[in-house]
Structure 1
C-alpha cells in the first residue's frame, strides 16, 4: 500500500487532505503540505503530485481519468445526459458537501479535506475518506518508529499493537523500518522470549506474528504456542484475568490451533449481571474488557445471537456517550481506544455500528472516532493530540476488522498440511490435473513434491507415470505438466519427464502461421505459459494471437460466445505477461479493468457476472485465486487499497475493508482446506488457493531451453 508523505519540518505546519475517486472506483489520497495561511482547492490539487490536465481553472483530467484539456467537456456530449465531469466536494466532518464555489476560489485551511470524483455529480464514497484517514494515521505512525524497529510507549506491547494495526491496514510490518535498520517484526522477534511472560502477552504476540504473515510456532527461536500452553491449566483456563483468557483464545484461533473445550466457558461464567466483563472476574464491567471478550467468544464459536452476546451488546448501549463514542467506563469521557474496541466488538457479532441504533446526536461511533484524529494523522490520547496507543488502537477499527486477523503464513502451513493428508497411496490427488495443481501448491509453499508420499510413490513419481497419456489429452494438460516439471525441478529441462519430452508436446500444438496453441483459450494460455517458461521460439507470435482474442470489455472467454470470465482472463493475463507483454500495455490494463468490474463487495471474484446459472456470480475460491495470481503477475498488490472493497448494501456493515486475499482467507476452514463444490474442505479449491495465498503467479520456474522436433521423444 502507498504511504503518504510525512511532515518534514515544523516550518511547514499546515496540511490538507485530498481524495480522488476515479470512474472505476479506484481512490487515490494525498496529504498536501503548505506554509501559507490558506491555499485554494486548485492549488492543493496542483501540489498533490497527481497528473493533471486543466483548461484555465477547469479540471479536465486527473491521473488519466477524464478529458483532454482541448475538449474538457468530452464527458458531456449532447444531449448532456449522462454528463460526466470532475465533481468537487468538501468534507464537513461527517459527509461530503458539494462545493459552493469552484476549486480556484475556495480557500482551504489547515486540516481541511477536499474530494474529487469523476461522476455525474455524485460525491466520493464515504469509505474514500476512511482511506485518507487510515493513510494519514500510517504516515504519522511512520514518524514514530525507532531505529531498532520498535514503537515507543508501554514497552514491547506497543510494538505488538502497532504490528497488529499495520496488518489490519494491509501494511507489511516486515517492511516497516527506519532506514536500513531492523523491521518492526524483526524487533518483536528479538523480544519474544522476555515479552511472552503471561497468557495475555503471549496471546497478543501470537496475534501480531500471525497477522504479519510470520510463523507463531517458530518466532525468535520460540514456539509461541508451546509457550502459551504453559499458562493453561487442565480445565482450559489461561492465566488469572479475563484478558489472559481472551487473548489466549484469540491467539489459538489466529494460529488455527485447537481451543480447549472449556476455554470459552470460563469467560461466559465471568459475565457480570450488567452484561459486560471487567479486567478480572468479579470486576465491574468496562467497555474495553467487554469488547475484547466479545471478539474472543465469537472466535471460539459462540453464536452471534446467543444470550451472552445479546447482553453484551445491551451493556455497550448503556455505555455510549452523547458524542457517539465510548468511554472506558461510564460516566467517563469518550476514549479513542475504548471506542475502537467497541467498534471491533460490535463488528465481531455482526452488529452494524453505522446503523441508526448506534447513532447519537447524529453521530455514529465511527464518526466519533474519526473526529479524534488530528491534522497530523495521529489520534488524541493521554500524551496529547497525537498519541501512539490511541492511533494503533484506532487503525483496526477504521478498517472495520475485529480480532483475530488472518495471516498468510498460518494459512499456507495449514493448507499444505491438510492437502498432504489428502494424497492417495499411488502418490496422486485423484487425477493428473489435480496432481499437477498439487505440485504448484507444494512448490508455492516452499516444499518439494518429490518428498510428498503416503508410503508409496511420490507425487512427482505419479505424475511422471502419467506423462504420456496426460499430455496427449489436451494442450492445456501438456502446458500444465511442463510448468509442473519445471517448478519441481527447475535445474532440469523437461525433455525427459517420465520418458516424455513434455515441453515439446506444447510445440506440437503450436500453429506457426497464426500463433494459436491448441483449440481453446485455456489451451493457448497454459501453452503460452509453458512456451515462455522454456523461452521457446514462437511465443511472440502466440502473444499477439492472444491479444487479438481480447473482447471489447477487456476480458477473455473460454469458448466463442461464452462471454468473458475471470478464470480465462486471469490465465490470459499471466500468459501475456510471461511472454513479455509490458504490465502497462493497453491489453493488460484493459484486462485488469474487466477484472475490477467483476469484483464482488466482499473483495472476491465470481466465475462470471452476469451469468446464466444459479450462484455463478458469487465469490468462489478458484476464481479469486486465479485473479490474485494475475494481479501478482501484473505487479499489483491483491491486499492493497487499489483492490479493496466495502460492503454497501442496505443494512450491511459498510466500513469493513475487503481485499481479494481477505476473501480467500475467509474461506479457509479450521481444518486447513478451502471451500468449494464438495464442502468446507475442497481439494480443487485448495490446490488453486495455495499459490495465490503464497502470492505466486505462473510460471513458477523457467529454464532457457528449446525443443526442436528432432529431439522429441
Structure 2
C-alpha cells in the first residue's frame, strides 16, 4: 500500500470522526474554517489547532493582548502595529476570527483600524503597510477603505515602473508589498506583475536572494520570504525560479533539521517552512539525518508556549511564535491566498 494511499485513508478517517463529533454536538464551538484547517494538515504530518504545541503557542500569543485590543511583543508590553498585525494574521491563518478576541471591549482589528495613521511614521513603512494590509484582508476587511484611506492604492504607489518597490537595496519591503497586493486579489495588477518580475530578476545563480538585492550574502530568510511573495503573486511552484530557490534552501539545511542563518533558528525555520508549504511540498519530507524542519522548530518551544530564536536565546519570540503557528499548521504567507 503506497504512502499516499495511507495518508488518504487517514485523512478520510479523521474527517469521519469530525463529522460524527459535529453531529453529536461535541464540536459546536468549532467553526467550519477551523475544522478545514485542522483536517488539511492531518495526512501531511502538520499539527492541528488542538495539538498541545499549537494550543500552547496560541495561548501565549493571546496572553500578549492588551486592554486596547492590540498586541505587544511580550505579555503586558505596549501594543504596536507590527505585533498586532502579526497576531491578526496568525489568528486568521488557523481559521479563527481575530475580531472575536476582545479585551476591554476592543479587538486587535479595532486597534489596527484606530491606529493606522501611525504606519507612515514607521521605519521601512512599505513593509509595515504591506503586513498591515495582509492582516486586514485576512480579517475579511477591505484594505482599500480603512477609515477612508485606500491602502491598496498606497501599496501600488510604492511600485516604480522598473518594479523596484520602496527603498532601493532592501527587498523585504518588495516582498511584503507584493504579498499585500496578493492578499487583496491584486496579483494581476500591473504593479504586482512588475514587482514580481523585479524580484524574480534578483535571484542569484545559487538560487537564493540577498536582503539588499545583490549577489553576495545570500540567506535562507530572505529567500523564503521572497518565495512566499512570488508564489502569492502567481509564480508557479513548478517554475525554474522556484525549483532553484528550493534547491538552495535544501543546501542550507542542517543536520538538526533547521536552516543555516547564524545557525539553525526559529526565524529561519518559520519562513522556510511557509515557503515549502507554499510550494506544495511537505516539510516532513525534508529530512536531514532523521530530523526535519518541523522537528527543529518544535524543539525551540518553551513551557509557556512561546517559540525562542534558539534554545538559549529568546530573540523576538512573539514573531517566531506567530509565524510558527502558521508554519506548523501547514500555512503560508499570506494565508488568505
- TM-score bracket for this pair, using the shorter chain length: 0.7 to 0.9
Aligned to 1:394: 324
Output the CA distance in 2 between the equivalents of 1:144 and 1:162.
Answer: 9
Q: How does 1:536-615 map to 2 (within 5 A)?
A: none
Output the CA distance in 2 between the equivalents of 1:335 and 1:187.
Answer: 31
Aligned to 2:112: 188
- Compared CA separation, residues 23 and 338, structure 1 to 2 (3 A): closer
Output the CA distance in 1 between the equivalents of 2:101 and 2:334.
Answer: 21
Aligned to 1:157: 82
1:397 Cα deviation after fit? 0.2
Matched positions, count: 286
Output the CA distance in 1 between the equivalents of 2:185 and 2:15.
Answer: 40
- Compared CA separation, residues 25 and 306, structure 1 to 2 (3 A): same
Judge conservation of contact 1:379–1:386 (CA < 8 Å) in 2.
Answer: no
Output the CA distance in 2 between the equivalents of 1:252 and 1:128.
Answer: 28
Aligned to 1:298: 231
Structure 1 residues 162-214: Cα deviation after superposition (integer angstroms, max 9, x where no partner): 11111111121112232x23211111112212214632121111101001111
1:24 Cα deviation after fit? 4.0
Output the CA distance in 1 between the equivalents of 2:49 and 2:184.
Answer: 33
Aligned to 1:625: none
State which of 170, 174, 182 in structure 2 corresponds to 1:245: 174
Q: How does 1:255-270 map to 2 (within 5 A)?
A: 255-257=184-186, 258-260=188-190, 261-270=193-202
Judge conservation of contact 1:200–1:245 (CA < 8 Å) in 2.
Answer: yes
Aligned to 2:130: 203
State which of 279, 292, 310 in structure 1 corresponds to 2:211: 279
Q: Which has the higher strand share?
A: 1
1:290 Cα deviation after fit? 0.6
SS state of the match for residue 283, structure 2? coil
Structure 1 residues 624-652: Cα deviation after superposition (integer angstroms, max 9, x where no partner): xxxxxxxxxxxxxxxxxxxxxxxxxxxxx
Judge conservation of contact 1:378–1:386 (CA < 8 Å) in 2.
Answer: no
SS state of the match for residue 393, structure 1? helix
Judge conservation of contact 2:210–2:217 (CA < 8 Å) in 1.
Answer: yes
Q: How does 1:10-25 map to 2 (within 5 A)?
A: 24-25=16-17
Aligned to 1:315: 248
1:308 Cα deviation after fit? 1.4
Output the CA distance in 1 between the equivalents of 2:205 and 2:84.
Answer: 35
Output the CA distance in 2 between the equivalents of 1:372 and 1:248.
Answer: 30
- Compared CA separation, residues 366 and 215, structure 1 to 2 (3 A): same
Output the CA distance in 2 between the equivalents of 1:208 and 1:189.
Answer: 11
- Compared CA separation, residues 214 and 196, structure 1 to 2 (3 A): farther
Structure 1 residues 530-587: Cα deviation after superposition (integer angstroms, max 9, x where no partner): xxxxxxxxxxxxxxxxxxxxxxxxxxxxxxxxxxxxxxxxxxxxxxxxxxxxxxxxxx
Output the CA distance in 2 between the equivalents of 1:302 and 1:141.
Answer: 32
Structure 1 residues 419-475: Cα deviation after superposition (integer angstroms, max 9, x where no partner): xxxxxxxxxxxxxxxxxxxxxxxxxxxxxxxxxxxxxxxxxxxxxxxxxxxxxxxxx
State which of 253, 258, 270 in structure 2 corresponds to 1:340: 270
Greater RCO structure (CA 8 Å; 6+ sep): 2
SS state of the match for residue 25, structure 1? helix
Output the CA distance in 2 between the equivalents of 1:182 and 1:129.
Answer: 24
- Compared CA separation, residues 289 and 259, structure 1 to 2 (3 A): farther
- Compared CA separation, residues 269 and 158, structure 1 to 2 (3 A): same
Judge conservation of contact 1:192–1:222 (CA < 8 Å) in 2.
Answer: no
State which of 211, 230, 234 in structure 1 corresponds to 2:161: 234
State which of 131, 134, 137 in structure 1 corresponds to 2:57: 137
Structure 1 residues 359-407: Cα deviation after superposition (integer angstroms, max 9, x where no partner): 123111112112222222111137739921211120110111112222x
Q: How does 1:157-556 map to 2 (within 5 A)?
A: 157-178=82-103, 180-196=104-120, 198-240=125-167, 241-257=170-186, 258-260=188-190, 261-282=193-214, 284-327=217-260, 329=261, 332-355=262-285, 358-381=286-309, 384=314, 387-406=317-336
Judge conservation of contact 1:295–1:345 (CA < 8 Å) in 2.
Answer: yes
State which structure, 1 or 2, has the greater radius of gyration over its C-alpha atoms.
1
Output the CA distance in 1 between the equivalents of 2:172 and 2:135.
Answer: 16
Output the CA distance in 2 between the equivalents of 1:322 and 1:405.
Answer: 29
Could you state the TM-score of these two structures normalised by the residue count of structure 2? 0.77
- Compared CA separation, residues 242 and 138, structure 1 to 2 (3 A): same
1:130 Cα deviation after fit? 6.6
Aligned to 1:483: none
Judge conservation of contact 1:340–1:369 (CA < 8 Å) in 2.
Answer: yes
Output the CA distance in 2 between the equivalents of 1:239 and 1:147.
Answer: 34
1:128 Cα deviation after fit? 5.3
- Compared CA separation, residues 242 and 136, structure 1 to 2 (3 A): same
Judge conservation of contact 1:165–1:392 (CA < 8 Å) in 2.
Answer: yes
Judge conservation of contact 1:288–1:341 (CA < 8 Å) in 2.
Answer: yes
Output the CA distance in 2 between the equivalents of 1:186 and 1:231.
Answer: 26
1:231 Cα deviation after fit? 1.5
Q: Which has the higher helix share?
A: 2
Judge conservation of contact 1:294–1:312 (CA < 8 Å) in 2.
Answer: yes
- Compared CA separation, residues 226 and 385, structure 1 to 2 (3 A): closer
